[in-house]
Amino acid sequence: MVVAGESPIGVFDSGLGGLTVMRSLIDLMPNESLVYIGDTARYPYGNKPAAQVRDYAVELATSLVHDHGAKLIVVACNTAAAVALDVLASTLPVPVIGVVEPGARALVRVTHNGKVGVIGTVGTIASGAYDKAVERTAAEVVLSSAACPGFVEFVERDQTEGDEVMLLATQLLAPLKAAGVDSLLLGCTHYPYLAPVIQAVMGEGVVLVSSANETAFAVRDLLESQAIEAPTKAVGERHFYSSGDVDAFATLGRRLLGPELGSVSRWKKGTSS
């Protein structure tokens, strides 16, 4: 397959969370064109069986390659990356980058006391993907992890502050506070939108790590190494698709990402136009 630099990068998530990764991609590489699919009709992924999430991931990534000519796929969803990165990398005709490895690398770099934490969906934490990714860094750290069911739904409902979310965060993060972690990876791309709440619960001394920037750096390095970058003077275009309510996605998405989120089109399997 011939991939030209002008082709877009394809990015997907279960919903709005991957916009945190889009922000970093846009900021780092404004010349790259991007196509984003948020699978809001089928979110959340975090409580679904791994095989089902894998099927969704294959559908979305395949659509990005075949319907949109994506030259590279960014799995901007930890849950999907945790269970589907291998199958995507071995079946797609383009390179694939997930958020798990970049996140783990960033996490072990910032710790001082060697006690690190990761939070994610039930699916991500149960997959053990972060245990393996942190082990692969060979850093001498102790990893504590906690699933945070409910966090994603709060973000998708645009409820990122208030007593309810604070109460849930206090309960779910208690084991990580007790473990004395000094750095905490937000192992779900939705969670950066809850950073103020998570920071308030964990305390100012704990560094919150998001995988978005590190993933964008990994994308840039891969584009360079494969010589498929967009021309420096190109002006990147961005296209957004949602499998659910496109107006709701546009309204909340614009608030979360910023003005780069223009119109949103409907994504349907095999017909994303």
- Residues designated as active site: 77, 188
* Cβ atoms of residues 211 and 186 within 8 Å: yes
- For residue 121, the one-letter residue type is T
**CA–CA distances in Å: residue 142 to residues 111, 131, 182, 186, 229:** 10, 10, 11, 16, 37
Query: Which stretch, 74-82, 125-133, 137-145, 168-176, contacts ligand DGL (CB under 6 A)?
Result: 74-82
> Interface with ligand DGL includes 189 (CB under 6 A)?
yes
For residue 231, the minimal CB distance to ligand DGL (Å) is 31
> Interface with ligand DGL includes 77 (CB under 6 A)?
yes
> Interface with ligand DGL includes 45 (CB under 6 A)?
yes
> Interface with ligand DGL includes 74 (CB under 6 A)?
no
Query: Which stretch, 29-37, 77-85, 173-181, 243-251, contacts ligand DGL (CB under 6 A)?
Result: 77-85
Q: By CB under 6 A, name the one of 61, 85, 152, 216 that touches ligand DGL.
A: 152
For residue 124, the minimal CB distance to ligand DGL (Å) is 5
> Interface with ligand DGL includes 121 (CB under 6 A)?
yes
> Interface with ligand DGL includes 119 (CB under 6 A)?
no
Closer by beta carbon to ligand DGL, 8 or else 103: 103
Q: Per-residue contact track with ligand DGL, 5 to 44, x per CB under 6 A? A: --------xxx-x-------------------------xx
> Interface with ligand DGL includes 188 (CB under 6 A)?
yes
Q: By CB under 6 A, name the one of 33, 63, 79, 210 that touches ligand DGL.
A: 79
For residue 46, the minimal CB distance to ligand DGL (Å) is 3
Name the one residue in this structure whose structure tokens are 């998530």: 13
Report the 3 state secondary structure along the chain: CCCCCCCCEEEEECCCCCHHHHHHHHHHCCCCCEEEEECCCCCCCCCCCHHHHHHHHHHHHHHHHHCCCCCEEEECCHHHHHHHHHHHHHHCCCCEEECHHHHHHHHHHHCCCCEEEEEECHHHHHHCHHHHHHHHHCCCCEEEEEECCCHHHHHHCCCCCCHHHHHHHHHHHHHHHHHCCCEEEECCCCHHHHHHHHHHHHCCCCEEEECHHHHHHHHHHHHHHCCCCCCCCCCCCEEEEECCCHHHHHHHHHHHHCCCCCCEEECCCCCCC
For residue 122, the minimal CB distance to ligand DGL (Å) is 8
Closer by beta carbon to ligand DGL, 193 or else 228: 193
> Interface with ligand DGL includes 84 (CB under 6 A)?
no
Binding residues for ligand DGL (CB under 6 A) = 13-15, 17, 43-46, 77-79, 121, 124, 152, 188-190
